[in-house]
Amino acid sequence: MLFGLVFKTVPVLHPGFFPMPKTHFPRVRRIAYEGPKSTNALAFRHYNPDEVIAGKTMREHMRFSIAYWHAFRGTGSDPFGSATIVRSWEKGSDPVSIAKTRMDAAFEFFQKIRAPFWCFHDRDIAPEGRSLAESNKHLDKIVAHAKDLQKATGVKLLWGTANLFSNPRFMCGAATNPDAHVFAYAAAQVKKALDVTKQLGGENYVFWGGREGYETLLNTHLKREQDHLATFLHLAVDYAKSIGFKGQFLIEPKPKEPTKHQYDFDVASGIAFLRTYGLEQHFKFNIETNHATLAGHTFQHEIEVAAAQGLLGSIDANTGDLLLGWDTDQFNTDVKELTLAMVSILKAGGLGSGGFNFDAKLRRPSIDPEDLFHAHIGGMDAYALAFKLARQILAEGKFERFVKERYASFDSGYGKDIEKRRIGFRELNQLVLKKLGEPKPRSGKQEYLENLLNTYLHG
Ligand code: XUL
Ligand code: CO
């Protein structure tokens, strides 16, 4: 009995858990799953990492990831004011040792929030030096530290990427810069980013367009810039092959911001770009909710367009503010939007080596370390609930049956002949004139379907 009691008080730890020497979040314990009725704000209500569904744990289904740049480099600063978020570990004069302590705090957070993955840009984790060689040296030191922390905690790298947009040298783009010198510098930086992503076992590598776009055609050769971008991506593929990096390459479309016209506008234009330049077998898409809405699409639309071509790779999980025209990178708690997205993701067979990366930041006044937990708990719970609702929707199959029936005229007869391209305009003309006559309109039943969707969301 006593043994039983003692045993119950021992926390169940993730395999490979190794206690951190010093706690950076003393007021927060490892977040536990307490079920939908829990009123504990620092507990999961829907995300139970150990719950097994269809032979896999929720941890494996969701593959949640923390974005280093927001969670550990975000300061709340905006164009109107300086940092509001000041963390206790951001102290000292040596930027490399601050970077190490920051990373200790980050891995403590990853463990406490129970995220199995993280993502980073090279310059998020290590300070930029006075030369590329010095930057690489800093990066090596921090990557060695990250490797130790990954080993000690079991947290893995979902993807790495290079920051090719913050430094002034990239003000006119990186791969699309009019100066070949900048192209070369960007190539050298991505080479190193690929090396370290491989070293850390990264499962993917992301290219977000950064400043790959333009402000005015008065100074821009659009076609040459697009050609250069494609060359850059081909060179990255070649280099990855040469070092044996097996991770999936991902393109992350965004229509604007920072440049007025970004070349990777949305998934559809991304597909055209990849196909035009023979890159489609090497890349998939990392779809970001806020980027989708900036492009005038829904999140679900972008997922469906990628999935239709077998190019759905990963998700940058966030949301925008529909009243604002820029990338606000907020945590998404809209269960309806996420359920629809999840239906499309599950129908597509999931994300493979991808995951749900919280590319989302705290609002400027959310300055407490606990806010980082509330934010991620909200996002993780909303996604987990959406996952479960989507599974229920698909298991019952009501929408799928409706859609199947709506297109049934293409399943046989002349409809099937159209799909198989066995019939031409002449035959169709004869059919209409001699046999079919006027089509009978059928309701699309949108309102009926919206109400049906609400029965899953609200009972
Ligand atoms: C920018 C954005 C990036 C990428 C990685 O809007 O989403 O953080 O996800 O470079
Ligand atoms: Co992103």
Residue nearest to atom 3 of ligand 1 (CA): 208
Ligand nearest 119 Cα, by number?
A: 1
- Length, in residues, of the chain: 459
67: phi then psi, degrees, rounded to nearest 5: -85, 115
Query: Is-catalytic flag, 148?
Result: no
Name the residue of 161, 166, 251 to mutate for ligand 1: max ligand atoms within 8 A of Cβ: 161
Query: Residue type for 153, please?
Result: T
Taking the CA of 287 as reference, the closest ligand is 2
Q: Looking at residue 222, what DSSP letter applies?
A: H
282 annotated active-site: no
Give the integer Cα–Cα distance in Å for 158 and 354. Answer: 7
Atom of ligand 1 nearest to the CA of 163: 10
Q: Report phi then psi at 156, rounded to 5.
A: -115, 165
- Which residue in 346, 174, 352, 115 sits closest to 248, CA to CA? 352
Residue nearest atom 4 in ligand 1 by C-alpha distance? 208
Which of 24, 46, 70, 121 is catalytic? The answer is: 121
- Could you tell me where the beta strands, DSSP code E, fall in 40-132? 43-44, 52-53, 56-57, 64-67, 117-121
Q: Residue 27 in 3-state DSSP?
A: coil
Question: To test ligand 1's pocket by mutation, which of 68, 251, 252, 286 has the most ligand atoms within 8 angstroms of CB?
Answer: 252
Identify the active-site residue in 24, 46, 61, 124.
124
CA–centroid distance, 208 to ligand 1, in Å, is 6
Ligand 1 centroid, distance to 326 Cα (angstroms)? 13
Q: From the alpha carbon of 70, which atom of ligand 1 is closest?
A: 8
Compute the distance between CA of residue 1 and CA of residue 4 in angstroms, rounded to an integer. Answer: 5
Residue 341, classed as helix, strand or coil, is helix
Please, where are the H alpha helices in 248-298? 267-276, 289-294
Nearest residue (CA) to ligand 1, atom 2: 208
- CB distance 387 to 441 below 8 Å: no
Nearest 10 degrees: CA dihedral of 188, 182, 210, 270? -80
Amino acid identity, residue 223? Answer: K
Cα distances (angstroms) measured from residue 226 to each of 205, 230, 239: 20, 6, 20
Output the ligand 1 site: residues, CB below 6 A: 121, 161, 206, 208, 252, 254, 288, 316, 327, 359
Q: Which atom of ligand 1 is nearest to the CA of 291?
A: 6
- In order along its 459 residues, the chain shows pLDDT tens digits of 333 333 333 344 454 455 545 899 999 999 999 999 999 999 999 999 999 999 999 999 999 999 999 999 999 999 999 999 999 999 999 999 999 999 999 999 999 999 999 999 999 999 999 999 999 999 999 999 999 999 999 999 999 999 999 999 999 999 999 999 999 999 999 999 999 999 999 999 999 999 999 999 999 999 999 999 999 999 999 999 999 999 999 999 999 999 999 999 999 999 999 999 999 999 999 999 999 999 999 999 999 999 999 999 999 999 999 899 899 999 999 999 999 999 999 999 999 999 999 999 999 999 999 999 999 999 999 999 999 999 999 999 999 999 999 999 999 999 999 999 999 999 999 999 999 999 999 999 999 999 999 999 986
Look at strands 64-67 and 356-358 and give their pairing: parallel
Choosing from 212, 332, 359 the residue with most ligand 1 atoms within 8 A of its CB, the one to mutate for a pocket test is: 359
Q: Whose CA is nearest to atom 5 of ligand 1?
A: 208
pTM: 0.94
Structure token pair of residue 95:
């930027």
Contact assessment for residue 159 and residue 206, using Cβ atoms and an 8 Å cutoff: yes
Residue 458: per-residue pLDDT: 87
| CA distances in angstroms from 81 to 54, 76, 84, 259, 364, listed in the order given | 49, 9, 8, 22, 10
| Cα angle 191, 196, 199; round to 5 | 130
CA of 256 from ligand 1 middle (Å) equals 12
Task: Specify the pLDDT at position 322.
Answer: 86
What are 163-174's pLDDT values in tens digits? 999 999 999 999
Protein residue closest via CA to atom 10 of ligand 1: 208
Nearest C-alpha neighbor of 385 from the set 130, 44, 10, 154: 44
Residue nearest to atom 8 of ligand 1 (CA): 359
